[in-house]
Structure 1
């Protein structure tokens, strides 16, 4: 999930700090997701998807590496 989140941030020119500030989801929580310490809860995923203006499915889909 975090790799897709990171890709969407890059595409939209948004930093994780700004997401944390604007959504109320702590930077520590985002960091825990990144490090795999915990998985995001559905309500937080929905909040991020809405913030980024993408469907929830777009946020949680796995990126497939080719090659």
Structure 2
């Protein structure tokens, strides 16, 4: 699976600091999610999708 979180955050109307604060996670955690090094929990996926105004499916895409 390829993470689209970094691109979605970059394209978002919110700054990373705001997203970090709203999600209750560290800057490092947001960075790791963006780079696909770690993945949000199921609860965090839904919260992040709501915050970014996207569907949970948009956060990742399948790779062949």
Q: TM-score range by the shorter chain?
A: 0.5 to 0.7
Aligned equivalent of 2:43 = 43
RMSD after superposition = 2.2
Query: Which is richer in helix?
Result: 1
Q: TM-score, normalised by structure 2?
A: 0.67
Structure 2, gaps ≥5 residues long: none
Q: TM-score, normalised by structure 1?
A: 0.65
Query: Which is richer in strand?
Result: 2
Q: Which has the higher contact order (CA 8 A, sep 6+)?
A: 2
Structure 1, gaps ≥5 residues long: none
